[in-house]
């Protein structure tokens, strides 16, 4: 009887389950907003941020898998992945995950996700309900999850971002205090920041140009003053030379230049 050994090289780890990334635009906007803001926040750092990416924590078992709506992995470089195979990533599990509720999520499904994240090493797990504008959080302490309550004003230990629930709205803020916004809104903000920067640059350039013009005008004034002084010196020198020439001529004629050239009293 012939048997074929199954090796880790022959195991298939799917990169998609055929399901849509999001059930609706509200869920999608939250996913893109969080992924985009976190990527901007950690740009240039050894931090991998992804959305709806399959995470396989156990080599050899493709059935153990989750696809967090957002996952953040510190200590791993950003870049393309078809899936996150933990054994190929230095054994580092995502430290932070977000789930955005959709209408088809069941209570049992979300309970199982909570257990999965706790079992496989996620340090911080945040569940956002975009319909109620609320959030819940769990943070690992002594190996177990502790429910974050209240989450209003809470700051993520890993991310440094702040959660706020007020006025019937859920808002997230960067460590610098800037509100998380959609990518379209962020593009508008960046464009406005660039416009203000360009305006400030142009104003500074105009001030510098004005200062240079003033310096040049002062230089020209000083140069003109110098030229006037030089002309006066040359005139006085010419007058002195003329007087000396006249005095010499008078002496040749036997006349006293001092008495003849003396100003009349």
At residue 213, the pLDDT reads 87
Q: What mean pLDDT do residues 253-260 have?
A: 74
At residue 228, the pLDDT reads 86
pLDDT, the chain, mean: 87
Residue 118 and residue 146 in contact, taking contact as beta carbons nearer than 8 Å: no
Residue 167 and residue 158 in contact, taking contact as beta carbons nearer than 8 Å: no
Q: What mean pLDDT do residues 33-53 have?
A: 96
Q: Higher-confidence residue: 59 or 248? A: 59
Q: How far is CA 199 from CA 110, 134, 195, 196, in A?
A: 50, 39, 6, 5
pLDDT interval class at 261 (50, 70, 90): low
Strand order across the beta sheet in which 96-100 lies: 47-50, 70-74, 96-100, 124-129, 134-141, 144-148
Residue 142 has pLDDT above 50, yes or no: yes
Q: What mean pLDDT do residues 112-121 have?
A: 97
Residue 225 has pLDDT above 60, yes or no: yes
Residue 156 and residue 125 in contact, taking contact as beta carbons nearer than 8 Å: no
pLDDT interval class at 5 (50, 70, 90): very low
Q: Higher-confidence residue: 13 or 223? A: 13
Q: What percent of the chain has pLDDT over 90?
A: 57
Q: How far apart are CA 253 and CA 193, in angstroms?
A: 89
Q: Higher-confidence residue: 257 or 86? A: 86
Residue 42 has pLDDT above 80, yes or no: yes
Packing angle, helices 25-41 and 183-252, rounded to 10 = 40
DSSP one-letter string for 91-154: TPPPSEEEEE--TT--HHHHHHHHHHHHHTT-SEEEEEETTTTEEEEEEEETTEEEEE---TT-
Helix (H) or strand (E) run with residue 47 in it? strand 47-50
User: What tens digit of pLDDT does each residue of 55-97 get?
Assistant: 999 999 999 999 999 999 999 999 999 999 999 999 999 999 9
pLDDT interval class at 6 (50, 70, 90): very low
At residue 189, the pLDDT reads 61
Q: What percent of the chain has pLDDT over 70?
A: 88
Q: What mean pLDDT do residues 9-33 have?
A: 82
| DSSP helix, strand, coil percent of the chain (3-state; round to 5) | 40, 20, 40
pLDDT interval class at 3 (50, 70, 90): very low
SS3 of residue 191 by DSSP: helix
Most confident stretch, 16-30, 154-168, 209-223: 154-168
At residue 7, the pLDDT reads 54
Q: Which of 56, 69, 65 has the alpha carbon at shortest distance from 96?
A: 69
At residue 195, the pLDDT reads 78
Q: Which of 106, 108, 98 has the alpha carbon at shortest distance from 67?
A: 98
155 Cβ neighbours under 8 A, 6+ residues apart: 161, 162, 163
Q: Higher-confidence residue: 40 or 254? A: 40
């Amino acid at each position: 009887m012939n048997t074929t050994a199954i090796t880790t090289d022959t195991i298939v780890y799917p990169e998609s389950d055929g399901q849509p990334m999001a059930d609706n635009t509200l869920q999608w906007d939250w996913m893109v907003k969080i992924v985009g803001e976190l990527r901007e926040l950690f740009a240039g750092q050894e931090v991998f941020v992804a959305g709806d990416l399959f995470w396989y924590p156990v080599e050899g078992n493709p059935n153990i898998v989750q696809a967090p709506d957002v996952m953040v992995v510190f200590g791993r470089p950003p870049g393309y992945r078809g899936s996150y195979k933990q054994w190929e990533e230095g054994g580092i599990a995502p430290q932070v995950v977000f789930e955005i509720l959709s209408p088809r999520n069941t209570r049992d499904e979300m309970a199982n996700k909570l257990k999965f994240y706790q079992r496989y090493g996620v340090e911080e797990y945040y569940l956002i309900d975009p319909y109620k504008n609320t959030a819940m959080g769990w943070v690992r302490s002594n190996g177990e999850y502790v429910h974050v309550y209240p989450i209003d004003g809470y700051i993520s230990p890993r991310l440094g971002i702040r959660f706020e629930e007020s006025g019937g709205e859920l808002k997230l803020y960067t460590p610098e205090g800037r509100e998380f916004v959609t990518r379209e809104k962020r593009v508008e903000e960046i464009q406005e920041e660039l416009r203000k920067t360009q305006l400030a640059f142009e104003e500074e350039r105009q001030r510098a140009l004005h200062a240079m013009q003033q310096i040049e005008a002062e230089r020209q004034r000083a140069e003109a003053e110098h030229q006037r002084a030089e002309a006066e010196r040359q005139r006085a020198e010419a007058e002195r030379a003329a007087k000396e020439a006249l005095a010499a001529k008078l002496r040749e004629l036997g006349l006293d230049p001092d008495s003849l050239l003396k100003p009349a009293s």
